[in-house]
Amino acid sequence: MIKFIRFFNRFTTVVTLTVILVSAVFVIPGLAGIRPYIVRSGSMEPVIHTGSVAFINHQDKEPQPGDIVTYRLTGPSGQETLVTHRVVRVRGGIYTTRGDANQTEDLAPVFRKQLVGTYLYQIPYAGYLMAGMNRKTALAVLVWLVLLNGSSMAMGWAAKDPSPRNLP
């Protein structure tokens, strides 16, 4: 039984530290204005992969040709979409962009006010995990971690004092 408790305690520690580390990777860059976005199409393959999480620097809105930017594109119905493409040309605050996997430049010019920021790096496949996360899922993970750690602590305390207690 003691071996199981030790294994369970180590397992709990590894799971907890992994969740903290993964959370930190997504939260800490936000303190510097760097936000994660899920890549949903392959227009920037092979540089940025579908299913990746791309980190965009919201502070950098002065891209040069060759930089990869994320910008807002408003459709005919008024719905806003985020697009991440490479800047091909800049003229007077108007950007011409193109996805690396696309054969032609984007038809619509991109204006400075549409820019969200400049691409920094990606975490491949992490977007598939993030796509399933919402507040309820995050709360469930947090509750699960608290229960897991509580069980681990209780088992550790029980293992330290294995003698039966005399109850009145």
What whole-number distance in Å separates Cα of residue 89 and Cα of residue 105?
Answer: 10
pLDDT at 164: 57
- In this predicted model, what pLDDT tens digit does every residue of 92-125 receive, in sequence order? 989 999 999 999 999 999 999 999 999 999 999 9
Classify each residue of 39-69 as buried b or exposed e, where b means 16 or more C-beta atoms within 10 Å of its C-beta. beeebbeeebbbbbbbbbbeebeebeeeebb
Classify each residue of 96-116 as buried b or exposed e, where b means 16 or more C-beta atoms within 10 Å of its C-beta. bbbbeeeeeebeeebeeebbb
145 or 98, greater pLDDT: 98
Indicate if the alpha-carbon torsion angle 129, 135, 136, 139 is positive or negative. Answer: positive
- In this predicted model, what pLDDT tens digit does every residue of 125-144 receive, in sequence order? 989 887 777 788 878 888 88
Both ends of the chain: CA-CA distance in Å? 27
What percentage of the chain carries pLDDT values higher than 90? 51
In the three-class reduction of DSSP (H, G, I as helix; E, B as strand; rest coil), residue 58 is classed as coil
Q: What is the mean pLDDT of residues 32-39?
A: 94
pLDDT at 34: 95
User: Which residues on adjacent β-strands are paired with residue 34?
Assistant: 57
pLDDT at 129: 81
What whole-number distance in Å separates Cα of residue 114 and Cα of residue 73?
Answer: 7
Q: 105: which 2 tokens?
A: 């430049």
DSSP 108: S
Confidence band, pLDDT 50/70/90 cuts, at residue 84? very high
- In this predicted model, what pLDDT tens digit does every residue of 41-69 receive, in sequence order? 999 999 999 999 999 999 998 999 999 99
The dihedrals phi and psi of 75, each to the nearest 5 degrees, come to -80, 175
Helices (H) and strands (E) in the chain, counts: 3, 7
Confidence band, pLDDT 50/70/90 cuts, at residue 161? low
pLDDT at 166: 52
